[in-house]
Amino acid sequence: MKRLIYILFLLLSVQIYAQNYSAKSNQNDSSQKYYDIAFNEIAAMLDGKQSLSIARAVFLAEWAYLEGKPNYQAYCDTIKTAATFIQKFIKANQLEKYKTGKNMALVEYFFNPYSGNAYKSFTYDFKDDGGAEDFTKQFITKIIPVLPSAITY
Protein backbone atom coordinates (compact mmCIF):
# COMPACT_ATOMS: atom_id res chain seq x y z
CA MET A 1 0.00 0.00 0.00
CA LYS A 2 2.83 2.38 0.91
CA ARG A 3 4.53 1.70 -2.43
CA LEU A 4 1.27 2.38 -4.28
CA ILE A 5 0.91 5.73 -2.53
CA TYR A 6 4.48 6.65 -3.52
CA ILE A 7 3.83 5.66 -7.11
CA LEU A 8 0.58 7.64 -7.30
CA PHE A 9 2.27 10.67 -5.76
CA LEU A 10 5.18 10.47 -8.17
CA LEU A 11 2.88 10.10 -11.17
CA LEU A 12 0.82 13.07 -10.03
CA SER A 13 3.97 15.16 -9.48
CA VAL A 14 5.33 14.30 -12.91
CA GLN A 15 2.01 15.07 -14.59
CA ILE A 16 1.57 18.45 -12.89
CA TYR A 17 5.11 19.57 -13.57
CA ALA A 18 5.02 18.23 -17.12
CA GLN A 19 1.88 20.22 -17.92
CA ASN A 20 3.31 23.41 -16.50
CA TYR A 21 6.69 22.78 -18.03
CA SER A 22 5.24 22.35 -21.50
CA ALA A 23 3.25 25.54 -21.04
CA LYS A 24 6.43 27.51 -20.34
CA SER A 25 7.34 29.88 -23.11
CA ASN A 26 10.85 30.07 -24.52
CA GLN A 27 11.32 26.34 -24.23
CA ASN A 28 14.71 25.52 -25.72
CA ASP A 29 16.97 22.52 -26.12
CA SER A 30 18.73 22.95 -22.77
CA SER A 31 15.46 23.10 -20.82
CA GLN A 32 14.26 20.02 -22.69
CA LYS A 33 17.49 18.27 -21.64
CA TYR A 34 16.75 18.90 -17.94
CA TYR A 35 13.18 17.73 -18.34
CA ASP A 36 14.32 14.52 -20.07
CA ILE A 37 16.88 13.77 -17.35
CA ALA A 38 14.31 14.29 -14.60
CA PHE A 39 11.64 12.31 -16.41
CA ASN A 40 13.97 9.38 -17.06
CA GLU A 41 15.09 9.21 -13.44
CA ILE A 42 11.54 9.35 -12.09
CA ALA A 43 10.48 6.74 -14.64
CA ALA A 44 13.35 4.51 -13.44
CA MET A 45 11.97 4.85 -9.90
CA LEU A 46 8.53 3.83 -11.05
CA ASP A 47 9.91 0.91 -13.07
CA GLY A 48 11.77 -0.41 -10.03
CA LYS A 49 15.20 0.24 -11.57
CA GLN A 50 15.93 2.82 -8.87
CA SER A 51 14.68 3.07 -5.31
CA LEU A 52 11.61 5.23 -4.79
CA SER A 53 12.29 8.63 -3.26
CA ILE A 54 9.63 11.29 -2.97
CA ALA A 55 12.26 13.83 -1.95
CA ARG A 56 14.32 13.08 -5.05
CA ALA A 57 11.27 13.09 -7.36
CA VAL A 58 10.05 16.44 -6.06
CA PHE A 59 13.56 17.84 -6.34
CA LEU A 60 13.91 16.57 -9.92
CA ALA A 61 10.66 18.20 -10.96
CA GLU A 62 11.77 21.55 -9.55
CA TRP A 63 15.31 21.07 -10.89
CA ALA A 64 14.01 20.48 -14.41
CA TYR A 65 11.68 23.48 -14.28
CA LEU A 66 14.52 25.70 -13.05
CA GLU A 67 16.94 24.24 -15.60
CA GLY A 68 19.35 22.72 -13.11
CA LYS A 69 19.64 25.64 -10.70
CA PRO A 70 18.87 24.03 -7.32
CA ASN A 71 21.66 22.01 -5.76
CA TYR A 72 20.54 18.54 -4.62
CA GLN A 73 23.00 18.32 -1.73
CA ALA A 74 21.87 21.72 -0.40
CA TYR A 75 18.26 20.60 -0.78
CA CYS A 76 18.93 17.39 1.19
CA ASP A 77 20.95 19.26 3.82
CA THR A 78 18.04 21.66 4.33
CA ILE A 79 15.62 18.80 4.88
CA LYS A 80 18.04 17.02 7.25
CA THR A 81 18.61 20.21 9.22
CA ALA A 82 14.88 20.79 9.56
CA ALA A 83 14.24 17.16 10.56
CA THR A 84 17.00 17.27 13.17
CA PHE A 85 15.62 20.49 14.66
CA ILE A 86 12.07 19.12 14.75
CA GLN A 87 13.21 15.88 16.43
CA LYS A 88 15.09 17.89 19.07
CA PHE A 89 12.06 20.14 19.50
CA ILE A 90 9.84 17.10 20.09
CA LYS A 91 12.23 15.74 22.70
CA ALA A 92 12.83 19.08 24.45
CA ASN A 93 9.10 19.72 24.75
CA GLN A 94 8.25 16.10 25.57
CA LEU A 95 5.84 15.94 22.65
CA GLU A 96 6.55 12.24 22.02
CA LYS A 97 3.99 11.36 24.68
CA TYR A 98 1.19 12.81 22.52
CA LYS A 99 -0.22 11.10 19.44
CA THR A 100 -0.19 14.44 17.66
CA GLY A 101 3.23 15.48 18.99
CA LYS A 102 4.90 15.39 15.58
CA ASN A 103 2.10 17.46 14.09
CA MET A 104 2.44 20.03 16.87
CA ALA A 105 6.20 20.24 16.26
CA LEU A 106 5.70 20.75 12.52
CA VAL A 107 3.17 23.51 13.10
CA GLU A 108 5.57 25.21 15.51
CA TYR A 109 8.46 24.89 13.07
CA PHE A 110 6.60 26.36 10.11
CA PHE A 111 4.51 29.04 11.80
CA ASN A 112 6.65 30.37 14.66
CA PRO A 113 10.17 31.79 14.60
CA TYR A 114 12.84 29.51 16.10
CA SER A 115 16.56 29.15 15.72
CA GLY A 116 15.91 26.01 13.66
CA ASN A 117 14.09 27.97 10.98
CA ALA A 118 16.39 31.02 11.15
CA TYR A 119 13.63 32.85 13.06
CA LYS A 120 11.69 32.99 9.80
CA SER A 121 8.20 31.59 9.88
CA PHE A 122 6.27 30.47 6.83
CA THR A 123 4.12 33.19 5.29
CA TYR A 124 1.28 32.50 2.91
CA ASP A 125 1.28 34.26 -0.45
CA PHE A 126 -2.22 35.64 -0.86
CA LYS A 127 -1.41 37.49 -4.09
CA ASP A 128 -0.45 34.44 -6.15
CA ASP A 129 -1.58 31.51 -4.02
CA GLY A 130 -1.94 29.10 -6.94
CA GLY A 131 1.28 30.05 -8.66
CA ALA A 132 -0.51 31.42 -11.71
CA GLU A 133 1.95 34.32 -12.10
CA ASP A 134 5.02 32.57 -10.74
CA PHE A 135 4.85 28.76 -10.81
CA THR A 136 7.89 28.45 -8.52
CA LYS A 137 5.71 29.62 -5.62
CA GLN A 138 4.31 26.07 -5.54
CA PHE A 139 7.74 24.53 -5.02
CA ILE A 140 8.83 22.81 -1.84
CA THR A 141 12.00 24.90 -1.83
CA LYS A 142 9.84 28.00 -1.42
CA ILE A 143 8.18 26.80 1.79
CA ILE A 144 11.20 25.46 3.64
CA PRO A 145 12.05 28.31 6.02
CA VAL A 146 15.78 27.55 6.14
CA LEU A 147 17.26 27.53 2.67
CA PRO A 148 20.97 27.40 1.94
CA SER A 149 22.21 30.08 -0.43
CA ALA A 150 22.79 27.32 -3.00
CA ILE A 151 19.05 27.20 -3.71
CA THR A 152 18.26 30.37 -5.61
CA TYR A 153 15.67 31.42 -8.13
| pLDDT tens for each residue of 61-120 | 999 998 888 888 888 888 898 899 999 999 999 999 999 999 999 999 988 998 888 888
Range list of H helices, 24-97: 29-46, 54-65, 72-92
Alpha-carbon gap, residue 84 to 80, rounded angstroms: 6
Alpha carbons 119 and 115: distance in angstroms, whole number: 5
Q: What is the mean pLDDT of the chain?
A: 80
The number of residues making up the chain comes to 153
pLDDT (average), residues 127-153: 67
